[in-house]
Amino acid sequence: MAVTIRDVAREARVSVASVSRALNGHASVTEQTRGRIADVAARLRYVPHSAARSLITRRTQTIGALLPDLYGEFFSELIRGIDLAARARGLHLLVSSSHGNANEAAAALRSMQGRVDGMLILSPHVDAAFLRANLPDSLPAVLLNSAAKNAQYPVLNIDNYGGACAMVRHLLDAGHTGVAFIAGPAGNFDAQQRDKGYRAAMAEHAPKMPLNVVDGDFSEEAGYLAGRKLLAQKPRPRAVFAANDMMAVGCLHAFKEAGVRVPEDIALAGFDDIPIARYVAPPLSTVRVRIVDLGRSALERLASTLEKPDQAQALSVQTLSCEIVVRGTCGTKSNEIKARKKIGDQSIQ
């Protein structure tokens, strides 16, 4: 049925070994025979059977991406970044969402076993114990936005802390005396780091102001509710920093609904710079995360680990910088394009 290496060998009057060598660019095969073999292979439309090849080489040329979900612009961009880098290296990409559920994640991890040369794992929930239980030691992996620094895997994080600091500081610099914070879900690593950034910046630049944190869970709905709660506070906050953009958008709706002007009455800022941020009215000031770069870097990190497996460099934690984007909601005069401020180190430790 399908044409195999044997067919090519027979047709080209050589052994299968020569075909293999010729097609894989090994040395020690005459230019002439190589040419003949290539011709025959092309004519027969020969495509090596990848399973057979993987069986003997123990390589699949595929990397797996385990995501908590596939919903929303964040994952879309992340996958795009990963795909970009993967294609540049001739690697295939096997994606799987785990729906947040730990059991499903474990199952996904197990079923990817043997199908991939390495894993990219993005899950705010995975801890070292989970990985030890479900990832064989032999399978290289890179963790994204993970708290598991104790693990034996390289970790790639967003500079949530630095970004939050910078935005809070920007709001304070703009003259807003009090800055409230809408927090993210409790167990989420990103949310925790942003919260820490808020607290640190307040402590440093407005030590006398009380902290003002209301709960949230990264959803638009939670942002809306938080917005209403903030409006009900007796001395109304002058500025609000939401732990992500979707909550900021919900909060903005609450403010509009109540007839509160943004940014005149209350300044507002988010985190992530999702596309929607540019389109709400007024456009949302936020902290930009270069998600595509996150995906790309993660894949490149993994790929280099794959190429030289015994490199100790793998064990470090890298942090990707963010930048604040000033648009309409935070009450600074500056224009969106000009007022970007680079923050954060490219890499820590």
Partner DNA sequence: ATCGAAAATGGAAACGTTTACATTCGGTTA
Partner DNA sequence: TAACCGAATGTAAACGTTTCCATTTTCGAT
Kindly list the residues in this chain that would bind a copy of itself in the complex (CB under 8 A): 1-2, 45, 47-52, 54-55, 60, 62, 70-73, 75-76, 79-80, 83, 87, 90, 92-97, 110-115, 136, 138, 249, 275-276, 279-281
Minimum distance, C-beta of residue 33 to DNA, in the bound complex (Å): 4
- Among DNA, a copy of itself, none, residue 338 binds (CB under 5-8 Å by kind): none
* Residue 185 binds DNA (CB under 7 A): no
* Residue 20 binds DNA (CB under 7 A): yes
Q: Which is closer to a copy of itself, CB of 66 or CB of 330?
A: 66
Minimum distance, C-beta of residue 339 to DNA, in the bound complex (Å): 54
* Residue 29 binds DNA (CB under 7 A): yes
- Among DNA, a copy of itself, none, residue 280 binds (CB under 5-8 Å by kind): a copy of itself
| Sequence-distant (≥ 6) Cβ neighbours of residue 120 within 8 angstroms | 63, 64, 65, 66, 82, 141, 142, 144, 295, 298, 299, 302
- Among DNA, a copy of itself, none, residue 113 binds (CB under 5-8 Å by kind): a copy of itself
Would you tell me the crossing angle of helices 5-12 and 31-44 to the nearest 10 degrees?
120
Single out the residue of 55, 57, 51, 44 nearest to residue 2, CA to CA: 44
Minimum distance, C-beta of residue 45 to a copy of itself, in the bound complex (Å): 7
Q: What is the DSSP letter of 319?
A: E
Sheet holding 286-289, edge to edge: 286-289, 322-325, 341-342
Contact 196, 256 (CB under 8 A): no
Token pair recorded at residue 70: 């596939």
Q: Which is closer to a copy of itself, CB of 51 or CB of 232?
A: 51
Segment contacting DNA (CB under 7 A): 27-35, 160-168, 252-260, 261-269?
A: 27-35
Cα separation, 129 vs 210, in Å, equals 38
Q: What residues between 132 and 161 interact with DNA by CB under 7 A?
A: none
Cα separation, 53 vs 166, in Å, equals 51
Minimum distance, C-beta of residue 238 to a copy of itself, in the bound complex (Å): 24
| Sequence-distant (≥ 6) Cβ neighbours of residue 258 within 8 angstroms | 228, 231
Q: Which is closer to DNA, CB of 6 or CB of 261?
A: 6
Cα separation, 33 vs 302, in Å, equals 37
* Residue 33 binds DNA (CB under 7 A): yes
- Among DNA, a copy of itself, none, residue 13 binds (CB under 5-8 Å by kind): DNA
Contact 197, 161 (CB under 8 A): yes
- Note the residues at the interface with DNA (CB under 7 A): 1-2, 4-6, 13-21, 23-24, 27-30, 32-33, 46-49, 52-53, 55-57
